[in-house]
């Protein structure tokens, strides 16, 4: 007799709203930390990708960063105006030796953990990655474009990361289109 494995309830992992994201950036201790959080949310970068950014890999004109992705591949990460301003403000006060931060991956993790304790909001690289995907989905960006922008290997991964997008979000998007 074959017995099926029990079905596990799939928990929807948290993503942040734009207001929560703004609050986290506001509550960060210094310009560097604000830039890190803003870049995480703008780009969907993984922790190792963000920690290993080198200054020469930033294309300021197009707001792109060449990053080392999972599996040793190279990819491009996007960032917006707020992140650009924060990065430039950080770099105006920090003398770099090619690396963008004065932190390694574990230091970034500790900074995020402390921010989580202060704000009581989810604050880790995967939350920012889900937030990146969810915000794009709520604004009508399709899964294929989100996959490319976030450097995901498959559409299924994008769908896992955008589980927090509710029917109401999709309905609002639909209503805006069919007016």
The CATH number for 53's domain is 1.10.443.10
Calculate the CA 30 to chain-centre distance.
Answer: 19
Angstrom distance (rounded) from CA 105 to CA 133: 22
Instruction: Give the 3-state secondary structure of residue 66.
Output: strand
Angstrom distance (rounded) from CA 132 to CA 135: 6
pLDDT at 35: 97
Is 47 contained in some domain? yes
pLDDT at 73: 87
Q: Dihedral of CA 131/137/143/146: which sign?
A: negative
Number of structural domains found in the chain: 1
For 64, phi then psi, to 5°, come to -130, 150
Is 4 contained in some domain? no
Of 120, 125, 128, give the one whose Cα is nearest residue 18.
128
pLDDT at 8: 62
Q: CA dist 83 to 11, 119, 159, Å?
A: 31, 21, 26
Is 29 contained in some domain? yes
Structural domain including 104 reads 18-177
Is 69 contained in some domain? yes
In Å, the largest CA–CA distance within the chain is 69
Is 2 contained in some domain? no
Cβ neighbors of 1 (< 8 A, separation 6 or more) are none
Is 12 contained in some domain? no
The beta-strand segments (E) located in the chain are: 58-59, 64-68, 74-78
Is 5 contained in some domain? no
User: Averaged in consecutive runs of 10 residues, what is the pLDDT profile of the chain (179 residues)?
Assistant: 70 84 96 97 95 93 92 91 97 80 92 97 93 90 92 88 68 62
pLDDT at 84: 98
pLDDT at 140: 86
pLDDT at 18: 92
């Amino acid at each position: 007799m074959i017995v099926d494995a029990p079905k596990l309830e799939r928990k929807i992992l948290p993503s942040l709203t734009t207001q929560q994201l703004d609050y986290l950036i506001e509550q960060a201790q210094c310009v560097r930390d604000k830039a890190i959080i803003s870049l995480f949310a703008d780009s969907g970068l993984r922790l190792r990708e963000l920690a290993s950014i080198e200054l020469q890999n930033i294309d300021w004109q197009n707001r792109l960063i060449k990053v080392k992705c999972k599996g040793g591949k190279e990819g491009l990460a996007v960032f917006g105006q707020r992140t650009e301003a924060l990065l430039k403000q950080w770099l105006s006060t920090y003398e770099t030796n090619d690396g963008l931060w004065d932190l390694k991956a574990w230091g970034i993790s500790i900074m995020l953990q402390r921010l989580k304790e202060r704000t009581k909001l989810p604050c880790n690289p995967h939350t920012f990655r889900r937030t990146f995907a969810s915000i794009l989905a709520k604004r009508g960006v399709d899964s294929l474009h989100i996959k490319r922008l976030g450097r995901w290997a498959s559409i299924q991964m994008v769908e896992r990361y955008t589980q927090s997008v509710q029917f109401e979000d999709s309905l609002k998007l639909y209503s805006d289109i069919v007016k």
